[in-house]
Chains A and B, each alone.
Chain A
Amino acid sequence: MPEPTTGQLILAITASLLFLASVFVSIARSANRPTVIALAMLGTALSTTALVWHAIQRQSWLPLDDNFDALLWLAILTALVSLYLQRRKTIGRIDWVLSPIVALLLIAAAVFGKTMPHEYTHTLWANTHRFAVYTGPIAMALAAASGVMYLMLNAKLRNKHSTVDARFGSLERFENLTYTAVTIGFALLTLGLITGVVRAMQTASKLGDTWFLQPKVLLSTAAYVLYALVLHSPINPSFRGRRTALLSIVGFVLLLGTIGVVQMVR
Chain B
Amino acid sequence: MQRLLLIGLNHTTAPLDVRERVAFAPSRAQVAIDALRQQIDGCEVVILSTCNRVELYLAGSAEIDRQVIVDFLRRFHDLPNDQFASHLYEMRGRAVIEHLFAVASSLDSMVLGETQIIGQVRQAYEASRLAAATGAILNPLFQRALTVGKEVLSQTHLAEGRVSVASVAVDYAKRIFDTFADKTVLCMGTGKMSQLVLRQFVSLRPKQLLVASRDLGRATRVAEQFGGVGVSSMELDQLLIQADVVVSSTGHPHSLVTRARFEPLLRPRRYRPIFMIDIAVPRDIEPSVGDLDNVYLYNLDDLQEVVARTFDTRGQSVIDARHIVNAQVDAFLVWHRQREIGPMIDALYQRYHDIARAELERSGVKMQLDNQQKQQIEELLHRVVQKMLHDPVSQLRSPIPHESGQAYIHAIEKLFKLEPPRDENA
Instruction: Say yes or no: B175 contacts A171, CB within 8 Å.
Output: yes
Chain B interface bracket (under 10, 10 to 19, 20 to 34, 35 or more): 20 to 34
Question: Does A172 contact B176, Cβ atoms closer than 8 Å?
Answer: yes
Q: Is residue A176 contacting chain B, with contact meaning CB distance below 8 A? A: yes
- The reply to whether the CB of A241 lies closer than 8 angstroms to some CB of chain B is yes
Contacts of B272 in A (CB 8 A): 237
A160-B270 contact, Cβ under 8 Å, with A170-B176, A172-B178 = no
Whether A173 is near chain B, meaning CB under 8 Å from some CB there, is yes
Q: Is the interface of A mostly helix, strand, loop or mixed?
A: helix
How long is the Cα–Cα vector from A27 to B163 in the complex, in angstroms?
26
Q: Does B179 contact A (CB under 8 A)?
A: yes
B271 pairs with A157, CB closer than 8 A: no
Tell me the smallest distance from the CB of A25 to a CB of chain B, in Å.
24
A241 near B178: Cβ-Cβ < 8 Å: no
**What separation, in Å, do the CA atoms of A176 and B177 have in the docked complex?**
11
Find out whether the CB atom of B271 lies under 8 angstroms from the CB atom of A240.
Answer: yes
B298 at the interface (CB under 8 A from A): yes
* Inter-subunit contact B271/A171 (CB<8 Å): no
Q: Is the CB of A157 within 8 A of B174?
A: no
- Known contacts A158-B296, A240-B294; A166 and B174 CB within 8 A of each other: yes
CB distance from A143 to the nearest CB of B (A): 17
Q: List which A215-253 residues lie within 8 A (CB) of chain B.
A: 237-238, 240-242
Residues 262 to 316 of chain B near chain A (Cβ within 8 Å): 267, 270-273, 293-294, 296, 298, 302, 305-306, 309
For A174, the closest partner residue in chain B by CB is B178
Q: How far is the CA of A109 from the CA of B179 in the complex (A)?
A: 41
Known: A161-B305, A241-B273. A170 touches B177 (CB 8 A): yes
User: Which parts of B218-244 form the interface with A (CB within 8 Å)?
Assistant: none
For the complex, give the distance between the alpha carbons of A158 and B270 in Å: 20
A160 touching B178, Cβ below 8 Å: no
Out of B172, B178, B298, which one reaches A173, CB within 8 Å?
B178
User: CB < 8 Å: which of B178, B270, B305 contacts A237?
Assistant: B270
Q: Which of B174, B273, B302 contacts A160 (CB 8 A)?
A: B302
B423 within 8 A of A: no
Which residues of B are found within 8 Å of A241, using beta-carbon distances? 271, 273, 293-294
Q: Does B171 contact A (CB under 8 A)?
A: yes
CB contacts (< 8 Å) of A237 on chain B: these are: 270-272
13 further A-B contacts with Cβ under 8 Å, apart from A157-B172, A164-B172, A172-B176, are A160-B302, A166-B174, A170-B178, A171-B175, A171-B176, A171-B273, A172-B179, A173-B178, A176-B178, A237-B272, A238-B271, A240-B271, A241-B273
| Chain B residues within CB distance 8 Å of chain A | 171-172, 174-179, 267, 270-273, 293-294, 296, 298, 302, 305-306, 309
Interchain residue pairs with CB less than 8 A apart (17):
A156-B175, A157-B172, A158-B296, A161-B302, A161-B305, A163-B306, A164-B175, A168-B175, A170-B174, A170-B177, A171-B175, A171-B273, A172-B177, A172-B178, A237-B271, A237-B272, A241-B294
